[in-house]
Amino acid sequence: MTRTELAVIGAGPAGLAAATTAAAHGVQVTLIDELPAPGGQYLAPAGAPGRAHAPLSAAERRGQALLDVLTGSGIDVRAETIVWNMAADRRLQLYGAGQMEELVAQVVILACGAREVSVPFPGWTLPGVMTAGAAQLLAKRHGLAAGKRVLVAGSGPLLLPTAERLARVGATVVAIVESAPMTAWMRLGTTMWGHWDRVREGIHYGWALLRAGIPYRFGRAVTAARGHDRIESATIARLDAAGRPIPGSETAVDVDALCVSFGLTPNVELAQLAGCELVYEPQRGGWTPVVGGCCQTSLAGVLAIGDMGAVEGAAAGMLEGRLAGLQAAHLVGRLPVTAVTEAITKDAAARRRYHRFGAALNTIFVPPDGLFSLAADDTIVCRCEEVTAGEVRRVIAGGVTELDSLKQWTRVGQGPCQGRTCGPILAQMIAQQAGRPIAESGVFHVRPPAKPVPLAALAASRGERDVA
């Protein structure tokens, strides 16, 4: 068992900001991430083959600067390391470099980020159908195009950089298919005030797409993907006001990749395992930890920052990270509380702006209800266990209205992802079919290990003080 003053879980922009801030105030920091190098989903690590391709936005430049500070900062960086369990008393179970380790932290900052929300449709499990984030990563990090002829679909601002990056690495982007109506962007209205970086980014992408001749179509969605061993064509339909496809409006396009994004939802699994209180807040992206003024969760000494607390983007995450780093420094006795309260006051206005903008994006660009009718009865909704929509609909019709109960009547959520992909889908299906608020279906009860760990490594890590 080892000890540290501050454990930061997640080395994306928020986690980097927290770790570097705390370290700058003399805190002993352990920074843990399961990826091979720090940076999270947002920042390509140094030396990444695709890094040369991408021009950096202001937030990316600030994030890269944090990465550059890491070496020589004294932070103990644990890359390729999984945190597979966390207890309320901040005992962390780590698996990395083939070894198990128990790490006890005085303060834990959870910066686990967020993941894409999926809407199932026939053919969505075919190779070549992936999230927009996956396509971006392939392009940004590896200079690889997801396919030669690519369709980008879904809802929200992530579709734009995805299309731009795909074009940049040589793909023909057939179109961007946005399910929201064109007026959605106008609804953002005054929430965009102050977010000039994002506005500039938006203009940059819009201009790039115009130059590349990539159509940007609104009020439409992909209703099916077809192909044998990979996607060969996608069907696009116009949507009615409720988001249902209008029969007769379908057109098919030949593509070899389909990149879909419907927004992000926080990765709350470790918070859940430790026993943090969770709350369902669509403005923040879905189920998130209950947090107080300085990112404090319901557990003493545990903070939650970045997209994991509320999906608001990298810049907001770095701001919160800095505050959490100061708070951590205070909690271990390196800073007076005034340093923290002053920083919170100073940043309060900016945080409010980020929150309003994030809340607008998270509530405007959501998959419309009607899209959840796309899944045919034989469409898989739980990818791990291959459970179909029909099976789930039958069980919901029988009166099952909680996710954990669904897990007992079918095999949903029992695979290696423990419901990360299917959870939000099933919550929507229950809400719509049973006519109940989404929050009432609860969350899947995640069990340790938060992510699979090798059995042999568990076996080998038995200590003498272990029981039996």
Partner 1 sequence: MPDVVVVGGGIIGAACAYYLSGAGASVRVLERRWVANGTSRACDGLILVSDKPSPAESILAQTSAHLWAELADTLDQDFEYVRSGAIVLAETAEELAEAGRKAARLQQSGIRAEVLHAAGLHALEPNLAPDLAGGIYYPDEAQVDARLATVALLQAARRQGAVLQEGVEVTGLRQAADGRVVAVTTQAGDVAGDVIVLAAGVWSEQIAATIGLALPVRPRKGHILVTGRVPGLIRHPLLEGSYSASVHTAAEETQVALVAEMTAGGTLLLGSSREFAGFDRSVSEAIIRAIAARAVRFLPALARTSVIRSYAGLRPWTPDHLPLIGPAGLGPAGGPADLPTGLFLATGHEGAGIGLAPVTGQIVADWIMSGQMPALAESVRPGRFLEN
Partner 2 sequence: MPAEAAHSGFTIEVDGRPVAAVPGQTVAAALLGAGITVFRHTPAGSPRALYCGMGVCYDCLVTIDGLADQRACITPVRPGMRVELT
Q: Which residues bind partner 1 (CB under 8 A)?
A: 85, 87, 93, 100, 102, 385, 399-400, 402, 404-405, 408-409, 411, 414-416, 418, 447-449, 452-456, 458-463, 466-468
Number of amino acids touching partner 2 (CB under 8 A): 42
Per DSSP bridges, beta strands 99-110 and 91-96 are: antiparallel
Q: What string of DSSP letters covers 257-311?
A: EEEEE--EEE--HHHHHHT--EEEEGGGTEEEE---TTSB-SSTTEEE-GGGTS-
User: What would the two tokens of residue 136 be?
Assistant: 């971006």
Indicate whether 49 belongs to the interface with partner 2 (CB under 8 A): yes
**x/- letters, 249..288, toward partner 2 (CB under 8 A):** ------------------x---------------------
Q: Are residues 418 and 445 in contact, defined by beta-carbon separation less than 8 angstroms?
A: no
For partner 1, which is the closer residue by CB, 93 or 223?
93
453 is in the binding site of which of partner 2, partner 1, none (Cβ under 5 to 8 A by kind)? partner 1
Contact between 435 and partner 2 by CB under 8 A: the answer reads no
Instruction: Give first-to-last CA distance, the chain, whole Å.
Output: 19
Instruction: Give Cβ neighbours of residue 361 (< 8 Å, ≥ 6 apart).
Output: 156, 157, 188, 263, 311
Give SS3 for 396.
Answer: helix
Of 124-132, 174-182, 270-278, 430-438, the segment contacting partner 2 by CB under 8 A is 124-132
Burial of residue 215, with CB atoms counted within 10 A of its CB: 0-12 exposed, 13-18 middle, 19 or more buried = exposed
Contacts to partner 2 from residues 397-416, by CB under 8 A: 415-416
Could you give the strand order of the β-sheet that contains 220-226, starting from the edge strand earlier in sequence? 220-226, 233-238, 251-254
Structure tokens, 406:
């669904």
Q: What pairs with residue 94 in β-bridges?
A: 83, 101
Least gap, CB of 84 to partner 1 (angstroms)? 9
The verdict on 204 binding partner 2 (CB under 8 A) reads no
Report the nearest approach of partner 1 to the CB of residue 439 (Å).
17
298 binds, among partner 1, partner 2, none (CB under 5 to 8 A by kind): none
- Identify the residue among 25, 91, 142, 204 touching partner 2 (CB under 8 A): 142
Q: Binding residues for partner 2, per CB under 8 A?
A: 34-36, 41, 45, 47-49, 80, 115-116, 125-131, 133-135, 137-138, 141-144, 229-230, 267, 380, 383-384, 386, 415-417, 420-421, 451-452, 454
